[in-house]
Structure 1
Amino acid sequence: MNKNISSSLLLRQDMDGVVVLQLNRPQQFNALSDALLDALQRELAAISMDAQARCVVLSGAGKAFCAGHDLREMRGRPQFVYYQELFAKCGRVMQAIQALPIPVIARVHGVATAAGCQLVASCDLAIAAQSARFAVSGINVGLFCSTPAVALSRNVSSKRAFDMLVTGRFIDAATAADWGLVNEAVPDDKLDEAVTRKTAEILIKSPAAIRLGKAMFYKQKQMALADAYAYAGEVMANNMMEQDACEGIDAFMEKRPPRWKS
């Protein structure tokens, strides 16, 4: 089933299990305005209930992936309560990405700065054009990127993350790949091809196994080692009771492609 759903701030296209969400504020380099965060939250909630969705690709319109929060909008509302609500809202969106039961891939071009870099770090996978650049540059305007630091420090080492946070310096896509912020840095003209290849790799796997596995992956990271193994063992036992696991093992032994039930 193919369908297209558009709003002024966020574009959605569904095609054969892949949901493409495109941030659509190109003149503002896709800065995360209050309204855009609301649109993302709504769409992620809708996708979480969509049984046809198997994978999400998050991209940006125009010349950039995302330039972070909308600083002009923020300066226009100099109220502590507003800032509390804004950063809490942004945090909920980032957590909704990881709570989504299907993989989310960031397709990164241009710049991903501050909360835009946070967005990349919050996605399960990220593929970047070689010309893409990354920074948590709030420090340059007197604002330490505290909320982006949460996601960034869960992707790259503490010293590398802190260096980026206190200097505001940009790193290129090759460095981002080397540090673990993105999975791949590819030639600019191969970006869409690389994203399509990754979604194809996901679509041929068992939907039930991926849904179970993604939830397990993030939950076990917060646990002590013994607790993580106990929890993962329970999840794997449940996974073995799924029809897909039985079919997959039978197909492997019979040397044929699996026919997923879920």
Structure 2
Amino acid sequence: MSMKPSTSTMTMGRALMCRGARSWRSGPICGTVSRAFAIHSLTPHARTTGAKLLFHHQPRLYSTSSSKSTEPSVSHTLHDHSPNAQTATITISNPSKLNILNSTLLDQLTQTCTTLSTNPSLRAVVLTGGPTKNSNTIPSFIGGADIKEMHALTSPSSARAFILKVHAACQALRALPVPVIAKIDEFCLGAGLEIAVSCDLRIATERSSFAMPEVRVGIPSVVEAALLPGLIGMGRTRRLLYLAESIGAVEAERWGLVERVVGGEGELEAGVEEWVEGICGMGPKAIRSQKKLMLGWENSSVEEGIQAGVEAFTEAYEDGEEPREFMRKFVNRKR
């Protein structure tokens, strides 16, 4: 697979390179989080300040600032997968605070997704957690939302403003016009799980764990937690939300919360690459149309979904170029 870095690199705030500037195949995993109650109960070593949000892409990573920075920042670099096809990896990195999400990082995630959405060459996006101080021992996807920030909320209006930022980030991921893959290693908790279910596909290592323990800290699970019943059913959603249960990756796959479980980091990298390669081999207009249809199916009747599909199929033949090209390859394939 030949991928050349594109010339378009956009940076907001201070751009930051992941430790070691590892590639798509050896991209970092991250984080440390208390196993206690998931999203917000942090171990003492996690209660430090500083956060950064890093966006990078395969197979090389470019940075415009020192990796020693602990300030929240967003950068993203696109790489060419093939002519007129680009892929992106978004890495959420809060190295001293377990990859938890604060307001600044949520805003940056929303803005970056919005920017990526305008790229007509984009074919797939991968979302993962960045390296932390203890990434060699305990990785993390996203450990939840910042409980210290929520503890400091002083009014209903400030609470509303914060939770709307979580929703905006989730919605921005869902609004990306191409499939988004959540690459999960270890903790996927609270707001982190809401982010994960806002992606189109989820792949996780066997050691990963999933929980929605907000009720333990006096708040309900909200916003994109509303997607859970459609994935795992109302009964299992109640188990996660009422009992604040933590489940492992194998059970999460059995429930339908993740689509694939792999052994370790190496298999995770290979599994993600396999999915990305598969998506990039499909008709680009067809994939975008399919995602739009599936989002519509969530809130439509069966009949409405069928009619939307009829329109999408018809639109595919407006110029007919993509169906002809891909069907010709199929018909002329070697048998």
Please give the TM-score of this superposition, normalised by the length of structure 2.
0.73
**Corresponding residue for 1:209?**
286
Tell which has more relative contact order, 1 or 2 (C-alpha 8 A, sep 6+). 2
Runs of 4+ displaced beyond 4 Å: none
Which SS does the other structure have where 2:315 is aligned? helix
Runs (5+) with no aligned partner, structure 2:
17-51, 58-77, 132-138
In the comparison of the two structures, how many residue pairs are matched? 256
| Residue pairs, 1:1-262, within 5 angstroms | 1-2=4-5, 6-7=15-16, 8-13=52-57, 14-15=78-79, 16=81, 17-62=86-131, 63-189=139-265, 190-241=267-318, 242-255=320-333
Contact 2:179 2:291 in 1 (8 A): yes
Instruction: Return the alpha-carbon distance in structure 2 between the equivalents of residues 197 and 49 of structure 1.
Output: 25
Instruction: Return the alpha-carbon distance in structure 2 between the equivalents of residues 229 and 52 of structure 1.
Output: 28
Instruction: Return the alpha-carbon distance in structure 2 between the equivalents of residues 73 and 79 of structure 1.
Output: 13
Deviations 1:175-224 (A, max 9, x none): 11111111101001311111111111111111111011101111123111
Which SS does the other structure have where 1:134 is aligned? strand
Instruction: Return the alpha-carbon distance in structure 1 between the equivalents of residues 213 and 101 of structure 2.
Output: 15
Deviations 1:35-77 (A, max 9, x none): 0001101110111011232110000013210011101111123
Contact 1:97 1:104 in 2 (8 A): yes
Instruction: Return the alpha-carbon distance in structure 1 between the equivalents of residues 208 and 322 of structure 2.
Output: 39
Which SS does the other structure have where 2:119 is aligned? coil
Q: Between 92-101 and 37-46, report the one with greater CA deviation.
A: 92-101
Q: Per residue, is there more helix in 1 or in 2?
A: 1
Q: Cα distance, 1:255 vs. partner?
A: 2.3
Which SS does the other structure have where 1:65 is aligned? strand
Contact 2:53 2:105 in 1 (8 A): yes
RMSD: 1.5
Q: Between 93-102 and 166-175, report the one with greater CA deviation.
A: 93-102
Which SS does the other structure have where 1:68 is aligned? coil
Which SS does the other structure have where 2:245 is aligned? coil
Please give the TM-score of this superposition, normalised by the length of structure 1.
0.93
Q: Cα distance, 1:118 vs. partner?
A: 0.8
Q: Between 125-134 and 87-96, report the one with greater CA deviation.
A: 87-96
